[in-house]
Chains A and B, each alone.
Chain A
Amino acid sequence: METECPECAGTVSIAAPEKGEIVECPECGVELEVVSVSPPALALAPEEEEDWGE
């Protein structure tokens, strides 16, 4: 699968994509989530929030 990074518009190639998979854009380094395989689509991966519970 080859598609565009939503952050920098660079090209991201993924050999065997799976929905939900987290990948890194080779051009800008941002982490991306595969939100669709057909048609291919990437979104910025969820950010990490802090929570004080235990």
Chain B
Amino acid sequence: MMRRHRSWRDLGLRAAGLSAALLTLPVQAADPLSTHDAATWLQRMSDAARNVAYEGVFVVQHGSAMQTLSIVNRPFGSTKEGRAERESRLAAMDGAQREVRCTQSGSITRVMEGGQIKLEKRLNSRHFPDLLPPNAAALANWYSVKLGELARVAGLDCRQVEILPKDPYRWGYVLCADKDSGLPLKAMMINEAGLPLMQYAFAEIRIGGSPKVESQSSRDTWRMPAQPASVRPIGIETVSVKNLPPGFSRIAAVKRTLPNRSGRARMSSEVEHWVFSDGLTHISLFLEPATRPIASVRGQSKQGMINMVTRQVGPMQATILGDAPWVAIEAIAMGLEMRPDAGDPR
């Protein structure tokens, strides 16, 4: 117990040191906020990301890859159509032309492919870069929060906020929240050593005001029929999850087809997709009939941010994948069991 306690304390210190190095500002190793204050800060930042109107450009860095995106967030929808719904729009400014439009009812991705515009409906309506969930206060159970120094991002003063996991089942975050609105202007996902796994920061941002009016031709393309995401509920569940890491619960369970699946696999590609989350970390479980005996294989993204394992559970192939430390993926993977009363899913 003591040992774990110390190591996470170390992490905090190291994370603090790292942010200091990055922002060339001295950071004192502050004490964690009380659970109540932590919850208040988390909720303030989460609400700001949803309720503040802003537009700007931000840069995402993931390993050696970097992407620049423009974003428009309108908490009360596009004024022209008079909708009260929240709407956000993201457009990749480099690489392939890709745009995502999120509303409360779902999100649509518009991709330019060989001169053709393709629309795709996505399953979830999560608005990037909303990092924190709507009920962010609950995160204070699993993460401790420390306030750091004031810093400056995209020309605005912001307060550094460290969100550090209390156990090894999730990654930590260092945010910089706009001093006035609380909007996170910068976010960095860090591993247990305090090293960045992924980060994004606004390069330019305008908070408040009314956004530019979209051109008519651009509006029209969004009205084209989108390829629907084919989803249906799961019938009888054949697999049970014995132990979930603390704070995780199942937030989705659907039958769906996988995107981008090629060749023969596409024909029989309906899988069960379960999602577990603590509000900040997401882990997916995919279940499908195993077409042949499967050896367990572990996969990992280059920086170790995403971990994955494929194993066989009874007649099923289970793929567990998430932007979470290996122990979290492993715990879920190892806790999978066939339900004793389950028939052959085929």
Question: Does A associate with B in a complex?
Answer: no
